[in-house]
Every structure is written in structure tokens, then in C-alpha cells.
Amino acid sequence: MSLFTLLVACTMALASPEKHTEPVHEVKVERDVSYATVKGYYTHAPVGDKQSTVRLLFHSGIPKPVTLEMDIYRPSDDGNEPRPLLLMMHGGSFFIGHKTEPGQAGWCEYFASLGYVAVSIDYRLGFHATKKEIRQAEYRALEDADTALEYLFGREDLHIDKDRVFLAGTSAGAMTALNLAFRLYGNGPMKEVRPRLHREDFRIRAVANLWGSVHDLSVLENASVPILSFQSVADPVMPYDGGYPLGFAGKLLSDKMYGTHAIYGKAVSIGLRAEHHPCEEARHRLHLDDDLQYTSRFYEIRDAMVRFFAGEME
């Protein structure tokens, strides 16, 4: 082996996201990339926007064409080597949230610095306040995440390695990530949403479930996808084990749901690789404070994702 070849090999090893947790790449961002036009109510509502609550309580509109957008973070020193993909989805109960939310944006920038293509998406938000409509909002988000994957796989310039796909989300975004991995691309049928891709054409390696939940624990039997979870044991919004969002009041708008503790227990019982981090602070959103600044949990979650994902690329 020549000295030049050896140096190139060492450089590629240092840039490998499997090996390092320290940034090794400068990052460039493609913002507001349109990936589809669909019918919906709206696609972004920043946290803290009072109009978002008005939309939820007094929504009387009808679906109209809306444009779905994503921000794509990737190493600025683009080469031709295949890169793992991280698809990130914000939370917000399917009626608020935005792809530029500081947590998602910060995680995406960090993972891109490690060599990933990291993508934060907007998806359709809004619903009339009925149990049926809220479930439809879940399905719309799932359809949009699936459409985002289809778009990204079609971007040859991104050099995405379809064998190394990772999903992550907070709250409603975590629900969408879990549904994508275990319902839409699991082995069980899902009549509500039709997949746009063939499950044999790519591989979901792991899901970061950040205070998300599922309606039925049996869906975890549909696929062999490892799950990393974080949630407060005293989460005031989503059930930690089994229960209803927002407690008893949530019965009016939701069926029973199962949070990270129940998901972890089920995963372990069926032999899935799983890691669970119960947190003591009585908060729903762990990674940001009330001023939308990073908490220490932001970095703890980030580093846990790096380690957990690396374990699926060895």
C-alpha cells in the first residue's frame, strides 16, 4: 500500500460516523427544500405561536394544497462515499411545531458533522378536535415522512446509504418514527397508509424514541428495529407506561397509549435491542427549556443517539 493510499484510508476512517463522536466535517444546509405538495391544513406552527392554539380550538377550515419542506444538513466536503441518513421529526401533538425547532436543528447539524445526511422535515399539522381526526393527523404525518424518504432516496447527489437509515423524533415526531419503522415498513398490514417504497430496498437500523408512544404494543413484533428511548417518569403530557395523553382528560380525544417504559419492556420481551433512559424532571420536552434553549438533556440525548446508532453500523 502506498503512503498516499494509507493516508486516504486513515482520513476516511477518521470521518466515519461509526468511530467518532467529535465533529469531523464542516456542515452545509439546504433549507426549505420542497419535497411534495399535498392537501392539508398547514405545515408549520412554531412553538409559542398563540395562533397555533386558536387553530386547534377553532379550526373550521378545509384541506387545501400545501407544500411540504425539509432542511437537509450534510458534510460540506461532499464525496462519493455512501452516508447514513438520519430523518428527524419534530413534536407538537400534530398541531404545532416546525423543522427549525432548535432541538431538531441542533441534532441534525451535529450528526451531519459526523458524516450523516441529517434531515429535519415539516409535515402536515392540524385537525378538528375529535378522536377520529386526531388519528387522521397521525396518518398524514406518517404519509409525509414516507414521502420524505422517497424524495431523499431519489437525490443521488446526497449519496445516501439505504442500508443505514435512522429515524428520530420527539413526542408526535417519535410516534411517527415508530409508526414508520414498525407499522408502515413492518411485516404487519397497515390499511390506513399505503407505503411508497419497498421495504426490501432500504433498511431502518434504529429509532430514537424521545417521549413518544404507540397505540398497540404488538406492533413492535412487526420488525426487528432497535429502539432508544428517553422520557420523564412524570411526563405531564404523554403516558410513561400505559395511559392517556394529558391524563384522564385525554380519554375524550385519544385511545389508550403506551409510552417509553412499556415500549422498552415489550422490546426486551421479544428480543429487540433496546435502551431506556428514565428521567426525573417533571417535563414533557426534555431537551429544551421554556425559552427554547438547550438543557443538559439535549447533549445527553445527542450522545446516546450517537452511541446507539454506532452499535447498528458495526
Domain that holds residue 296: 3-310
Residue 49 scores a pLDDT above 90: no
E strand or H helix that includes residue 218: none
pLDDT in tens, 175-232: 999 999 999 999 988 999 999 999 999 999 999 999 999 999 999 999 999 999 999 9
pLDDT in tens, 60-70: 478 899 999 99
Cell numbers that stand for 293 in this block:
434553549
**Given this model, what pLDDT does residue 44 score?**
83
Residue 131 maps to which CATH number? 3.40.50.1820
Dihedral of the CA atoms 8, 13, 17, 19 (nearest 10)?
-160
pLDDT in tens, 88-135: 999 998 988 999 999 999 999 999 999 999 999 999 998 887 888 889
Residue 19 scores a pLDDT above 80: no
pLDDT in tens, 249-285: 778 778 899 999 999 999 999 999 999 999 999 999 9
Mean of the pLDDT values across residues 66-89?
94
pLDDT above 70 covers a percentage of the chain that reads: 88
Residue 305 scores a pLDDT above 70: yes
Q: Give the model's confidence band at 22: pLDDT under 50 very low, under 70 low, under 90 confident, else very high.
A: confident
Buried b (16+ CB within 10 A) or exposed e, 115-127: bbbbbbbbbbbbb
Residue 15 scores a pLDDT above 70: no
**Given this model, what pLDDT does residue 45 score?**
82
**Given this model, what pLDDT does residue 6 score?**
31
Say whether 29 sits in a helix, a strand or coil: strand
E strand or H helix that includes residue 265: helix 260-269
Total domains present in the chain: 1
**Given this model, what pLDDT does residue 304 score?**
97
Which single residue is written with the C-alpha cell 407505503?
195
Buried b (16+ CB within 10 A) or exposed e, 245-276: bbeeebeebbeebbbbbbbbebbeeeebebbb
- The residues near 181 (Cβ < 8 Å, ≥ 6 apart) are 167, 204, 207, 223, 225
**Given this model, what pLDDT does residue 79 score?**
78
Q: Where are the beta strands (DSSP E) in the chain?
A: 27-40, 64-75, 83-89, 117-121, 160-170, 204-210, 227-232, 242-243, 257-258, 274-279
Across the chain, what does the average pLDDT equal?
A: 88
